Amino acid sequence: MLWQSIRNSPPRANASACVSGGSAVTWALVTARIEEVAERAGVAVSTVSRALRDVPGVSLATRQRIKDIAAEVGYLASPNAARLATGVTGTVAVVVPDAAKWFFGQVISGAGAVLRASGRDVLLYELGDAEGRRRFFEGKTLRGRADAVLVLSLRLSTEETQSLRTLGLPVVLLGQGSEVFGSVRVDDRAAARSAVRHLLNLGHRRIGLIGIDDADEVTTGSTPPLSRLAGYRQSLLAAGIPLEEDLEQFGTNSVSGGELAMTRLLSAPALPTAVFVGSDEMAFGALGVLRTAGMTVPRDISVIGFDNHDLSQVMDLTTIDQNIRGQGEAAAELLLETLSTALGTAPPDRIIDTRLVLRRSTAPPADIPTSSKKEET
């Protein structure tokens, strides 16, 4: 009853018009237009337009009068008309592989808060799978829909880069450097080094790695996994510890990926006394496997993650905080700056700080390893 009345008879005291859109006839409320405000104020529509947008060239008196009348009749400029006239959408597109993943949720929320504070709308594009990614970049999906684009955790191919450039919009990448677009990210390599150094400083010499492999069909090729691996290796080598293939296991960036990799690590010729894991979610999986195997963390093995996931505290996981929400905020801010300033020559590249968060999944190895260096196969 009520339902029907909503669809078919909009509240009175509002003019209504019948617009046939698509298959169904829908009712759309018609609210005050600029013309009505102009008539009431006894001025031209152009003056109303200028007054309401605080464009210079209107006397203070008329401007105020127009504003009052606009507020009175509840006038709001039609976004679509304004967009058509100016070409400015007041919208920022956020392109994300998968909104259901914790990492991207943090970024979306952080970036969204900044964008909303600037009065902009957020258009969310979720790639989903490789096919979705292809469709997004092939079609000119964004044309006329956004003023700027924030792209998360994607290593863009030449064609994709070109496709974005053709849009003519400012683009900022998150989690990935770029020669062409602005970027916000952390120094993954340095962060990984400090994680492994923490383990070294505790006295560990046999340190395993659970890395993020490249199997994800959407984020494939992105650099953080590689940089974290490189940081791990650098730290070991700098400490004079040779790399061991058996101690490096990889999996998808997920709990189950961590479980599988840790399981493989447990069947290594000689167990590591500590493991650096490429993401907290993988570390959760690793912790689960260790528990199942009857091993105690950190007594039998130390584990350090990467992210500072919401749940890493309750899991008591030592990890690297990479301020993900802050990265999202910084990326949005950079985008807004780019929108209002003519930027210089090089695309800006902002590096966000990381920090080690100590919890109780790391500790000195049980038996001080003095001979472990020479234990290789």
Partner DNA sequence: CTGAAAGCGCTTACAG
- Site residues, DNA (CB under 7 A): 20-21, 30, 33-35, 42-47, 49-50, 52-53, 55-59, 61-63, 75-78, 81-82, 84-86
What residues numbered 73-112 form the site for a copy of itself, per CB under 8 A?
Answer: 74, 76, 78-81, 83-84, 86-89, 91, 94, 98-102, 104-106, 108-110, 112
For the bound state, the minimum distance from the C-beta of residue 314 to a copy of itself, rounded and expressed in Å, comes to 4
27 binds a copy of itself (CB under 8 A): yes
Q: Which does 296 bind (CB under 5 to 8 A by kind): a copy of itself, DNA, none?
A: none
Q: CA angle at residue 36 from 31 to 41, to 5 degrees?
A: 135
- What tokens does 291 get? 């528990």
The entry of a copy of itself, DNA, none near residue 46 (CB within 5 to 8 angstroms by kind) is DNA
Task: Map residues 317-356 to x or -, x wherever contact with a copy of itself holds by CB under 8 A.
Answer: --------x-------------xxxxxxxxx---------
Pick one of a copy of itself, DNA, none as the site partner of residue 347 (Cβ within 5 to 8 A by kind). a copy of itself
Q: Which is nearer to DNA, 8 or 157 (CB)?
A: 8
Is the alpha carbon torsion for 152, 156, 159, 164 positive or negative? positive
In angstroms, what CA-CA distances link 161 with 134, 140, 157, 158, 226? 13, 12, 6, 5, 21
Smallest distance from a copy of itself to CB 352, Å: 17
The distance of Cα 63 from the centroid of its chain, to the nearest Å, equals 41
Nearer to a copy of itself, 86 or 371 (CB): 86
CA 167/CA 162 separation, integer angstroms: 9
Dig out the tokens for 357 from the structure: 């968060």
Q: Which is nearer to a copy of itself, 93 or 186 (CB)?
A: 93
Residue 288 C-beta: closest distance to DNA, Å: 53
Which residues have a Cβ under 8 Å from the Cβ of 159 and sit 6 or more positions away? 137
Residues 6+ apart with CB under 8 A from 305: 277, 279, 280, 282, 283, 284, 312, 317, 318, 319, 320, 361
The site string for a copy of itself over 118-157 (x = CB under 8 A, - otherwise) reads ---xxxxxx-x---x-------x--xxx------------
47 binds, among a copy of itself, DNA, none (CB under 5 to 8 A by kind): DNA
Question: Judging by beta carbons within 10 Å of its beta carbon (0-12, 13-18, 19+), is residue 323 exposed, middle or buried?
Answer: middle
Residue with tokens 């990381």, as numbered in its chain? 354
Taking the C-alpha atoms of residue 59 and residue 14, their distance in angstroms, rounded to an integer, is 32
For a copy of itself, the closer of residues 170 and 208 by Cβ is 170
Q: Which is nearer to a copy of itself, 147 or 244 (CB)?
A: 147
Site residues for a copy of itself, 196-215, by CB under 8 A, read: none
CA of residue 341 relative to chain centroid, distance? 23
Q: Toward DNA, which CB reaches closer, 87 or 240?
A: 87
Residues 282-311 that bind a copy of itself (CB under 8 A): 284-285, 287-288, 310-311
Tell me how far apart the alpha carbons of residues 210 and 314 are, in angstroms, rounded to a whole number.
21
- In this structure, the number of other CB atoms found within 10 A of the CB of residue 25 comes to 11
In sequence order, what are the residues at sequence separation of 6 or more whose Cβ sits closer than 8 angstroms to the Cβ of residue 283? 210, 258, 277, 303, 304, 305, 306, 312, 315, 317, 319, 361
Residue 269 binding result from DNA, a copy of itself, none, given CB thresholds of 5 to 8 Å by partner type: none
166 binds a copy of itself (CB under 8 A): yes
